[in-house]
C-alpha cells in the first residue's frame, strides 16, 4: 500500500567525498523518515583535504529543478546550503518567494571546512536582502555571523547580540552556532524574538567533523517537516549532530566525515 511521507527539499552543492552537501542532506532526511527531493547548485571535486575544483550550474537550471519538484511534490520544508553564485542566490530566493508556504532553513555556506570559498562575495548581500526574509530558521556559524554583521562574533556575549541583530534581517528564528568556540562545551544561541535560549553540550573530541553544518541544517529542516516548532527542531538537530560526531569516520588523509545514525 502506498504511504504518504513528509517531503523535504535541499538546494545545495554536491560533495564528491560524500561528507557534506546534497549527500549529507539526503542522508539525514532518509534517517528521519522523510522523502528527499533536491536541486543541485554546484558540482564540487573535493575530498577530506579540500575542494579541488567546482562547476556551478546555471541559475536557471537550479530554479528549474526547484520548480519541478515544488510543482509536483507536497514539500513540507526546505533548506539551502551552498549556492555558489550571486545569480543563483537571487534565483533561489525568487522561487521561494513565489511559493511562499515552504518552511525554509537557510544555512549560509560561505566556505568549506577546509577554507575554500563557496559563495561569491556579492552573494552575501543578496542573501541578506532577498533570502533571509523568507527563512523560518537561519543557521550561521561564528564566522558567518561575523561576516553578515561586519563585526566579530567570538564569545557567548557577542553570540547573543548577533542573534538579535541577525533576526532584524528578516528570518523568524536565528541559531548562532558556537562549535568553533574554545573549551570543552559547545554552546549555540537560539532566538526567535521572544525566547533567547543557550543550548549547550559537551564537545565530542574528534578531528573528523566534515559535514556537521549540513547535518545540523538538514536536521532542522527535517524537524520542521515533521511538525516540530523551531526550537524543538533545533534541539533534535543538535542531538543528531552529536550522534554524527560520535560515529564519525576516520577516512582519507584529512578531516573525515561525520556519520549520523538514527535517533528515535
Residue 135: the pLDDT is: 98
Residue 259: the pLDDT is: 95
> Which residues, in sequence order, are CB contacts of 80 under 8 Å at separation 6+?
10, 11, 12, 92, 104, 105, 106, 107, 131
Asked if residue 1 is part of any domain, the answer here is: no
Asked if residue 259 is part of any domain, the answer here is: no
Asked if residue 66 is part of any domain, the answer here is: yes
Grid cell in block for residue 1? 500500500
Grid cell in block for residue 247? 560515529
CATH of the domain at 151: 3.40.1190.20
Between 213 and 114, whose confidence is greater?
A: 213
Asked if residue 258 is part of any domain, the answer here is: no
Residue 263: the pLDDT is: 63
SS3 category, 57: coil
d(CA 212, CA 11): 17
Pick from 28-42, 57-71, 178-192, 228-242: least confident: 178-192
Using alpha carbons only, what angle is made at residue 124 by residues 119 and 127, rounded to the nearest 5 degrees?
105
CB-based contact 245:254 (threshold 8 Å): no
Q: Which domain holds residue 231?
A: 7-246
d(CA 116, CA 36): 27
Asked if residue 218 is part of any domain, the answer here is: yes
Residue 43: the pLDDT is: 98
Q: Is the pLDDT reported for residue 264 higher than 60?
A: no
Query: pTM for the full model?
Result: 0.96
Split at pLDDT 50, 70, 90, the class of 115 is: confident
- Residues 198-241: tens digit of each pLDDT: 999 999 999 999 999 999 999 999 999 999 999 999 999 999 99
The DSSP code sequence of 170-223 is: S-SEEEEE-TTSSSSEEEEEEE-SS-EEEEEEEPP--S--BTHHHHHHHHHHHH
Q: Is the pLDDT reported for residue 2 higher than 80?
A: no
CA atoms within 13 Å, Cβ hemisphere of 218: 35
Between 262 and 6, whose confidence is greater?
A: 6
Asked if residue 253 is part of any domain, the answer here is: no
Please give the mean pLDDT across all residues of the chain. 95
Grid cell in block for residue 203? 564537545
Split at pLDDT 50, 70, 90, the class of 114 is: confident
Average pLDDT over residues 148-172: 97
Asked if residue 124 is part of any domain, the answer here is: yes
Q: Nearest CA to 66 among 95, 42, 43, 94?
A: 95
- Residues 116-143: tens digit of each pLDDT: 889 988 999 999 999 999 999 999 999 9
Q: Is the pLDDT reported for residue 161 higher than 60?
A: yes
d(CA 141, CA 69): 29
Please say whether the dihedral angle defined by the alpha carbons of residues 198, 157, 119 and 137, taken in this order, is positive or negative: positive
Q: Is the pLDDT reported for residue 21 higher than 60?
A: yes
Residue 121: the pLDDT is: 87
Residue 1: the pLDDT is: 55
Total structural domains in the chain?
Answer: 1
SS3 category, 135: coil
Residue 112: the pLDDT is: 82
CA torsion, ordered 93, 81, 140, 184, to nearest 10 deg: 170
Amino acid at each position: 500500500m502506498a504511504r504518504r511521507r513528509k517531503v523535504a527539499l535541499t538546494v545545495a552543492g554536491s560533495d564528491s567525498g560524500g561528507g557534506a552537501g546534497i549527500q549529507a542532506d539526503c542522508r539525514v532526511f532518509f534517517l528521519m523518515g522523510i522523502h528527499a527531493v533536491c536541486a543541485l547548485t554546484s558540482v564540487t571535486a573535493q575530498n577530506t583535504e579540500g575542494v579541488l575544483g567546482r562547476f556551478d550550474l546555471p541559475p536557471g537550471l537550479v530554479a528549474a529543478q526547484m520548480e519541478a519538484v515544488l510543482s509536483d511534490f507536497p514539500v513540507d520544508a526546505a533548506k539551502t546550503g551552498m549556492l555558489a553564485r550571486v545569480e543563483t542566490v537571487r534565483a533561489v530566493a525568487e522561487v521561494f518567494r513565489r511559493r511562499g508556504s515552504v518552511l525554509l532553513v537557510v544555512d549560509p555556506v560561505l566556505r568549506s571546512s577546509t577554507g575554500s570559498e563557496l559563495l561569491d562575495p556579492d552573494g552575501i548581500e543578496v542573501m541578506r536582502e532577498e533570502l533571509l526574509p523568507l527563512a523560518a530558521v537561519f543557521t550561521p556559524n561564528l564566522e558567518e555571523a561575523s561576516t553578515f554583521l561586519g563585526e566579530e562574533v567570538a564569545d557567548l556575549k557577542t553570540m547573543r547580540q548577533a542573534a538579535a541583530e541577525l533576526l532584524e534581517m528578516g528570518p523568524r528564528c536565528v541559531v548562532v552556532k558556537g562549535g568553533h568556540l574554545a573549551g570543552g562545551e559547545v554552546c549555540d544561541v537560539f532566538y526567535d524574538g521572544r525566547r533567547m535560549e543557550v543550548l549547550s553540550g559537551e564537545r565530542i573530541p574528534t578531528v573528523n567533523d566534515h559535514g556537521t553544518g549540513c547535518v545540523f541544517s538538514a536536521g532542522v529542516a527535517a524537524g520542521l517537516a515533521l511538525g516540530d516548532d523551531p526550537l524543538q527542531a533545533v534541539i533534535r538537530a543538535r542531538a543528531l549532530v552529536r550522534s554524527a560526531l560520535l560515529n564519525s569516520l576516520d577516512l582519507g588523509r584529512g578531516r573525515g566525515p561525520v556519520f549520523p545514525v538514527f535517533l528515535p
